A and B are shown apart, each in its own frame.
Chain A
């Protein structure tokens, strides 16, 4: 495997208004910090954020109040985070890092604002799930929503589930997908 510029030409490390497109490794503005060594370049490439899927529901999906969903992509949510036979399951963290740029898309927008809380548990133990402090709110009649303000530090074997904190308001988003961007620690 060589380290030719073509292999770097995947996407910019950090977009800014002086980026060239496609990625040009000879343009310092295409790097968050222009590397001075090959190792520096490899480190920066390794630290690009990766889009990860935290969970969701499949076609016809229903997100009930006070329920959980996860990457099981079932057709309905679960009242219990570790319930058998419904749309829960967990996102497992396999490498320490930071989750950010939380995003939701749903095929059928809600009629009123819907909040989705990220709950996190250490040691892959669903009995330890607690609110992570991160909430994504889907506005009424919106197909997408973002939370670009919060960042969540995660460790190996943390697990994440998505929770509807309302006791009364559920909705039928059909297919809903919750993603985040993961930046691994070096």
Chain B
């Protein structure tokens, strides 16, 4: 991340959540909703890593991890800025979408529906700030 991790506090847009299946996601990985809590159950959304065919619910915030073991938080897409974990190098202005099975982002190509736009140059395996969009290239 070339910008500060403190550039924006996403706390006001965070949702309590937990993975449904065993995994560990780190900051910037995207998730999809798989299960609402039952009315009598533990009140936390159950998620799984998003893949390229999923509508994403949010991403894991800076400084947070998401596992199946304990509840944690995700940043909803109503946040003006979200952290994204890139699976390839990209630059500010690139439209991106989830392109791996574990919720990492790549550049969108022709006819893709972009899910975010990068706001800073970001190398592969790094986290960068992006703004959520829903934009067909």
Contacts and interface: CB of A to CB of B under 8 A. Distances in A.
Interface of A: 66, 117, 119, 121-123, 125, 127-131, 163, 165-168
A111 to B, nearest CB: 20
Given A123-B42, A128-B44, A130-B73, 6 more contacts: A117-B11, A119-B11, A125-B42, A128-B43, A131-B13, A167-B9
A2 B104 CA distance: 69
Contacts, number: 35
A90 B108 CA distance: 45
Interface residues of B, number: 15
A165 B6 contact: no
A165 B14 CA distance: 12
B51 interface: no
Nearest to A128: B16
B70 interface: yes
B72 A167 contact: no
Contacts of B73: 130
A25 to B, nearest CB: 42
A125 B14 contact: no
B12 A165 contact: yes
B76 to A, nearest CB: 10
Interface in B6-37: 6, 9, 11-16
A91 B15 CA distance: 20
